[in-house]
Structures are given as structure tokens and as C-alpha cells.
Structure 1
Amino acid sequence: MVAVKIKFRRSPVSGREGTVYYQVSHRCTVRQIDTPYKLFPTEWDKRQSVIVATSSDENRRRYLSMLDKKIAEDMERLEHIIATLKQDKRLFTADDVASVFSSGGRCCAFYVFMQAVIAELKQLGKVRTCETYHSALNSFMRFLDGREILLDDMNSELMISYEAWLESKDISRNTISFYMRILRATYNRAVEKGMTAQRFPFKHVYTGVEKTMKRALPLGVIKQLSMLDLSHKPVRSRARDMLLFSFYTRGMSLIDMAFLRKKDLNNGVLSYRRKKTGRLLFIKWEPCMQEIVERYSTSDSPYLLPIISKPGVEERKQYINESHCINRHLKALGKELGLSVPLTHYVARHSWASAAQSRNIPIAIISEGMGHDSEATTRIYLTSLDSAVIDKANSLILKSLQGM
């Protein structure tokens, strides 16, 4: 009597996803067949050995629904394998069943496999990478109109069609390349795991990086932005102020601004660790920075700026929503001013670097001031810089701004 059961193995780390596996029992031998299917303990009914959808997230429910289908297909294939082995009228073992199943490959759905990859990235704490993978996957699924595609069906013709579809949506070349590189990395991981054969489906699509248009604004425009009376448009005014705060703090990224805590400001020095590189930076606190902070009341919050309005409540989601809002209003403001450069928060970082370079501030100081961690050329000549040198550079830029 051959028995096949669907089992769930919890992760040894609390709060992380476990793995679905199959248990084959025959002739007093038990063998396990691993799968790439990941679940949280709350999504598994142990008594009935079935998946339960506990999440209200549509993407998660869709993922669980696809897992249900894949498990049903696997069980059907196992039944077929067992029936075939029985017809051979020879003795076979649980090892034989597992071997035949594995040698036939697990023609997993790309969506299911990529969701498993995203889950692994989430376990590693790579939140930003998870978000970019979700964006790429959602785009690809919109192209497929929600239909399931197997790893074995990923080919060059499909990806060329996807590239053409993206181009028809006026998606930029760099964004297209970004999506393609993420999908390619996921596909290659499936190849490494033996989930599918290497067919090089991305061979004929664009995966390079084109130079983008210059995004720096001259100091005159930064000055113009700071002098604008936006009191009648408070949301747009706040977006403008967040851009200015970034410029004042040597191009600080919005995510680092969002999570600045009041305790990070001590004795006239603001300290923070860049989320992108992990580098610890120190910035001399200037009056223009204080003016922006005082403009917004955050008395009931541990944060310095009004980006996370409800501390402790889905803070990452709040940051993402506020980021979209800020950039939307900045773009509208840029159009009103007739700027040739699309105005986004990231423009502040480019503008600070450009302003520093125009004042003949050495590249080494600019690199250190912005917290770059991959300036190989700069690192050859520089091991460390006194933060006072960087503060002097920033003060020079801000004085130039005030004197215009």
C-alpha cells in the first residue's frame, strides 16, 4: 500500500514561512519530496492538510490559490507515477516514487516560484528588494493578463513580446531593463535549482542601462523654490520643504528622512545611518534645517519630520504612500515653474552634488558627504574625512544659496 501525504514543515525561525513537502510511504519506508512552496503556519490546516487563505492581501491570496493548484497537479502526477509502477508488476519502493517524480522535474508556475523567491528575500530582511521584485512581477502578470505561465514556457519570443508591450505603455528603457533583469535573476535561480532547463529567454531583450537626462537644478532654481509662497497649498508646500530639507542635508534620501528620530539630533549634529549602504553620517545642523522642522508639529511622534504620521502602524507603507504623494506634487510644481527637469525628490541629491562640484569642492569630499559606498576611484585617494571638512563644504553651499 502506497501512501502519499501533504505535509508542512515550519521554519526554525519564528515568524518566517515554512515549506510544503510530500511524504511517500511504502513497504515500511518513508521518503520526503521537497517543494519550493512557502507558507506561513497560519496558512496551513494541519488536520485537513490543506492551505487556508488568512490574508486580506489580494496578491497573497492569488499566490495561495496558485499553490493549491500546483499541489493538486503534483498529487495527480504522483498518483500517475504510482499507477505506472504498479502496472510494471515489479517491486518498487518509496525511493522509486520520489526518484521518478524528481527526475521528471517540477514544472512550477513562474508566478509561484517568484513569490517563493520574494518570501526568501523578505526573510533576509531585504525589504526594498522585495518591493522591486513585486513591482516587476506585477508588471509581468499584467502583460500575461493574469494567466499562469510555467517556467518551462519561458522563452525568447515571450520576453520579446513583453518588451514590446512595455514599450507600448511608454515605459522608459531603463525601467524595462530593470524589470527584465529582475525576471532574469529569478529565472536563473530556478535553473540553478533544477526547476527548468536554461533556454536563455532574455537573450534578445534590452538589459542594459542608458544614461538618464541630467536631473540637477541650478542654485537659482533651488532659491526660487525656497522663496515660493505655497501657503494656500499646504500639501504642495510640504512636498517642496521635503525636497529642500534633502538639499540642505547633502542630498539625504527620502527614506532616510522619513525615519530620522528626534534623538538623532544632538548638540547641533544630526546623525543617521543610510539604509542603502549602512554608512553612518554626521551633518552639522543649520538654521535652514531647523526652520523646516519647526514648520511642522511632530510633538506626539518620535520622528523629526512629518512623513510617518502614525508611528508604529505599517510605517513602511506610510513611507511609500507619502513618497508617491511628495513626488506627485513636486512634478506638478515643476511643470508650473516650466522646469526642463522633471521635479522629484531625488533631484535634490543630484543638485547638491552639482552645486558642490561647481564650487570646486573636491570629488572626494562630495562623495563622502553624500555617503557613497561605491566610489572606487575616490576610495583610492581617500580613507576617511574629518566630518568638519564636510560640514564646511555644506555651509559654503548654503551660504551661497542665502547670498543669491
Structure 2
Amino acid sequence: MSTSAKIILRKKPNAKGLYPLAIRITKDRRSTYKHIGHYIELEDWDSKNLKVKKSHSEAESLNNLIASKLSEARKGLIALQTDNKGATARQIKKEIYKPTSSLTFFDFADEHLEALEAEKKINRHSTDSAWVSYIEKYCSGRHLTFQEINERFLKKFKIYLKGSCSLTETTAMNVMVLIRLLFNRAIRDKVVSKEIYPFGKDKFKIKFPETTKTGLSGKEIKALESVTELTDMERHSLNVWLFSFYFAGMRVSDVLFIRWSQIYDGRLHYRMGKNSKLLSLKIPAKVEKILLQYIEDRVNDDDFVFPEMKKADLSDAKDIYRKKKVANKKFNDHLKKIAKRAGIQKKVTMHIARHSFGNIAGDNIHPLMLQKLYRHTDLKTTINYQANFIHKDADDALDSVVNFL
């Protein structure tokens, strides 16, 4: 009769094709599993040494987490083997991971923020830290149980956010989304009963106000392309913006990480930072002209095309975040001046490159092809996104009534 706890990579991929890391608890050849909440690609798992390979960007953090979880499980096993030798593998799992109702909202908030930092999601960490600080300030401390978060609490808290904190409806709803996320985790971990869940039908509803996405027209894009007598920094900012636009509105964080080694056979091959999906796109002639302006500065094939990340400490997620943030602000400042000279009244930022591509694509490109270009997981996401830019049917319907003569 033997009992053991071992880290494994379960061969059951999720919708993104990634595999879950789990603790396998075995008793008398019967096993049960406790997922640790992280997924990786099959080639990033060292099955011999039972650890994440260095090829994974977060290998060190994940291996530290694995060691911690294994230690926790094995300590629990030792205690259980002394007190309850007849327990099954499933009973052992339930006993080891038995939740404690003494955990508060801020315990879950701290775990959430720690996980984001470990996963190097600095932008999300910065945003969610701000949301947590609003909750802490409202509660005048860090003593908040999930039982206290009822519909009345949420309604009063929303009033506080919009009144005392002067937040917009959208931002207030984002804070509520974080509370809902942590509440769901507490229910999943059996720290709180789902019977007191304060969100959903006939309860507190999270509803975002409608927003408009404005993109540039083809005529406005041509006006930008035609602006002359730019300073070096203005030309560089416009190059980055156009590079993003020409590649279906590539996010600026992805643009800045493009390396020369990803450009071959007349195509750009890259992995999107937001969802880790691979994409291969033909390099348009207009992009080739932009690349020629930077090729003399290339040190080697692994060098970045654009200069902003060349001096970044790539092992320091916070340094990368800071440099991306500074670069984005710099680009937007210059784009504002360029747009004015081009006679464009709309606000031109790096993010609007994506909206501009969607605006010009309109309903001329099949949604399935746009889904591929945008790398949306769900076609509904693509259709809803494009709905912001398709107005022809509504315009024709209006004309059919108004132009009755």
C-alpha cells in the first residue's frame, strides 16, 4: 500500500491547445488530480525531470510554484498517513485541499495580484491593483468578507466609485468585474456558498455602456501616408503606426517585439502577445519600404526591427512594461501632430490603427477571413467588432424612407 504526490502534465488540452499542470495523488494505484491553474505547450514540458523547460518564458516562476504545491501536498500526505491510513486517493485530495472559510476577499485579491506578477502580466497587475485600492479605501481597511458583498454593498460601492472617485461607468463596471472574478474563485474553492452570489439575473447586473469605435477612412490613411517634411521621430512614429495598420491592426506591444528573424520567405511569422496565437502574413510592398528604413541598424537576425526594445531588460517584465508605455505615449504625441498636418480631425493613436483596418474592411471581407487576421477565438467576437464599422444597411434603410420623393 503506497501513497504519493507527483507533478504531471495532463494530456487533455484546453481550447487553446495548451496542457494543464496538475498534482497527481495516488493511493493503491488509484489516482486523482488537482490542477494548479496553469497551462503550457507540450514541447515546454520536461517529462524526464518533471519540470517546465527553459524554453517557456515563465519557466522559473512556474517551477517555483510547482515546488511549492508539491511540498504542500506531500506535507499533507505525511499527516494523513499517520491519522487516516485507510483514506482513498479522492479523500486524501479533499482533505489536503480542504478550504478554510476564514479567507477574506483581500486574501483572494492578494493571491490574484501575486499570480499576475508571477506570470509577468504587468499591465493587468497595474490595473487590477488600482481596482483593489478603490475597494480597500471604500472599506477603510482590508477587512471584507464575501458574505458582506451583497447587492446593497455593490450598489453603494458603485455610487461611491462614480461620485467620490469620479470614475466613468465603464471603469466602475471594470472594478465590478474584478469583484465578480474573485467571488467566483471563492465559490469554486468552497470558501463561500454560491447561494449568496450577488451577481446575475434579478441581482446586481454588470452592464457596460455602449461605446463607439472610430477608425480612419481610406482617404484619411492616404493623407497620413502623404505627409512630408517630418522629423526623424515623427517619421518613425508614423512608420510604426502604418506597420500596425498594414498588418491588420497589429497591437503596438507586438509591433515593438518583431525581430528580423521573424521575416522570411516574404512573410511575417509571429506569436500574438495577448493570446499566444501564431500568425503568418504576407509582407505588403508598403511594409517592405518601411523595413528598408531600419535595415542598416540591424545588428543580427535576432535584433528587433524597431529600436524601442533594444535597450530593455528582457528578463525584467516591469522594465519591458515601462518601455512599452513610454514608447506608446511618444508615438501618440507625434501622431497627434502628424494628423493635424494631414487635416484629420479624428484622434489618431496607436490603438486606432486596429479600428482603421476594421473600418476599411467593413463588410467587404468575409468574417471568417477577418477572424483569421484578428486571431479571434470566437467568430462572434469578430462579427461584434465589425458591427462598429458597418453602416451601409442602416444608411440604405434610412434613405429609403427619407428620400420618398
Same fold (TM over 0.5): yes
For structure 2, the residue ranges without an aligned partner over 5 or more in a row are 1-35, 37-49, 52-62, 85-94, 384-405
Correspondence for 1:114: 109
- Deviation of 1:195 after TM superposition, in Å, equals 2.0
> Are the counterparts in 1 of residues 237 and 331 from structure 2 also a CA contact under 8 Å?
yes
- What amino acid does structure 1 have at the position aligned with 2:374? M
Query: Structure 2: how far apart are the matches of 1:331 and 1:171?
Result: 23
- Deviation of 1:331 after TM superposition, in Å, equals 4.6
Query: Structure 2: how far apart are the matches of 1:275 and 1:343?
Result: 23
> Are the counterparts in 2 of residues 108 and 150 from structure 1 also a CA contact under 8 Å?
no
Correspondence for 1:309: 310
In 2 relative to 1, CA 294–15 (structure 1 residues): closer, same or farther, beyond 3 Å? farther
Correspondence for 2:299: 299
Q: Report the TM-score when normalising by structure 1.
A: 0.59
Query: Structure 2: how far apart are the matches of 1:335 and 1:173?
Result: 27
- Deviation of 1:273 after TM superposition, in Å, equals 2.7
Match 1:288 to one of 286, 289, 298: 286
Q: What SS is found at the alignment partner of 1:313?
A: coil
Q: Are 1:151 and 2:150 an aligned pair? A: no
Q: Are 1:164 and 2:159 an aligned pair? A: yes
- What amino acid does structure 2 have at the position aligned with 1:366? L
Correspondence for 2:127: 135
- Deviation of 1:214 after TM superposition, in Å, equals 2.3
Q: How does 1:190-269 map to 2 (within 5 A)?
A: 190-198=186-194, 199-202=196-199, 205-229=204-228, 231-232=230-231, 234=233, 237-269=235-267
Query: Structure 2: how far apart are the matches of 1:223 and 1:299?
Result: 32
Q: How does 1:29-68 map to 2 (within 5 A)?
A: none
> Are the counterparts in 2 of residues 270 and 282 from structure 1 also a CA contact under 8 Å?
yes
- Deviation of 1:171 after TM superposition, in Å, equals 3.5
Query: Structure 2: how far apart are the matches of 1:271 and 1:245?
Result: 14
The count of corresponding residues between Structure 1 and Structure 2 is: 294
- What amino acid does structure 1 have at the position aligned with 2:64? G
- What amino acid does structure 2 have at the position aligned with 1:320? Y
- What amino acid does structure 1 have at the position aligned with 2:314? V
Query: Structure 2: how far apart are the matches of 1:113 and 1:226?
Result: 49
For structure 1, the residue ranges without an aligned partner over 5 or more in a row are 1-10, 32-97, 380-404
Query: Structure 1: how far apart are the matches of 2:241 and 2:346?
Result: 14
Q: What SS is found at the alignment partner of 1:15?
A: helix
% identity of equivalent residues: 20
Q: What SS is found at the alignment partner of 1:270?
A: strand
Q: What SS is found at the alignment partner of 2:65?
A: coil
Larger Cα-atom Rg: 1
Per-residue CA deviations over 1:315-356 (Å, capped at 9, x if unaligned) read 643443344334434554565546564433221112112212
- What amino acid does structure 1 have at the position aligned with 2:182? T
Q: Are 1:16 and 2:8 an aligned pair? A: no
Query: Structure 1: how far apart are the matches of 2:247 and 2:238?
Result: 14
Correspondence for 1:348: 353
> Are the counterparts in 2 of residues 247 and 348 from structure 1 also a CA contact under 8 Å?
yes
- What amino acid does structure 2 have at the position aligned with 1:290? E
- What amino acid does structure 2 have at the position aligned with 1:368? K
- What amino acid does structure 1 have at the position aligned with 2:274? K
Query: Structure 2: how far apart are the matches of 1:378 and 1:343?
Result: 22
- Deviation of 1:186 after TM superposition, in Å, equals 1.0
What is the alpha-carbon root mean square deviation over aligned residues? 4.1
> Are the counterparts in 1 of residues 113 and 128 from structure 2 also a CA contact under 8 Å?
no
In 2 relative to 1, CA 378–310 (structure 1 residues): closer, same or farther, beyond 3 Å? closer
- What amino acid does structure 2 have at the position aligned with 1:181? V
Per-residue CA deviations over 1:20-48 (Å, capped at 9, x if unaligned) read 9799x99x9669xxxxxxxxxxxxxxxxx
Query: Structure 2: how far apart are the matches of 1:142 and 1:210?
Result: 21
Q: What SS is found at the alignment partner of 1:281?
A: strand
- Deviation of 1:183 after TM superposition, in Å, equals 2.0
Per-residue CA deviations over 1:221-259 (Å, capped at 9, x if unaligned) read 22233334574472x543332221111112112232233
Match 1:371 to one of 369, 375, 378: 375
Per-residue CA deviations over 1:255-302 (Å, capped at 9, x if unaligned) read 322332211111221122333344432222234223333434342662
Query: Structure 1: how far apart are the matches of 2:144 and 2:154?
Result: 13
In 2 relative to 1, CA 327–175 (structure 1 residues): closer, same or farther, beyond 3 Å? farther
> Are the counterparts in 1 of residues 237 and 335 from structure 2 also a CA contact under 8 Å?
no
In 2 relative to 1, CA 377–184 (structure 1 residues): closer, same or farther, beyond 3 Å? closer
Query: Structure 1: how far apart are the matches of 2:381 and 2:184?
Result: 32
In 2 relative to 1, CA 317–342 (structure 1 residues): closer, same or farther, beyond 3 Å? farther
Query: Structure 2: how far apart are the matches of 1:205 and 1:230?
Result: 55
Query: Structure 1: how far apart are the matches of 2:317 and 2:256?
Result: 9
Q: What SS is found at the alignment partner of 2:308?
A: coil
- Deviation of 1:137 after TM superposition, in Å, equals 3.8
Query: Structure 2: how far apart are the matches of 1:117 and 1:133?
Result: 9
> Are the counterparts in 2 of residues 330 and 343 from structure 1 also a CA contact under 8 Å?
no
Deviates more, 1:237-246 or 1:297-306: 297-306
> Are the counterparts in 2 of residues 273 and 280 from structure 1 also a CA contact under 8 Å?
yes
Q: Are 1:189 and 2:185 an aligned pair? A: yes
> Are the counterparts in 1 of residues 271 and 277 from structure 2 also a CA contact under 8 Å?
yes
> Are the counterparts in 1 of residues 312 and 323 from structure 2 also a CA contact under 8 Å?
no
In 2 relative to 1, CA 374–340 (structure 1 residues): closer, same or farther, beyond 3 Å? farther
> Are the counterparts in 1 of residues 216 and 356 from structure 2 also a CA contact under 8 Å?
yes
In 2 relative to 1, CA 277–223 (structure 1 residues): closer, same or farther, beyond 3 Å? same
In 2 relative to 1, CA 277–377 (structure 1 residues): closer, same or farther, beyond 3 Å? closer
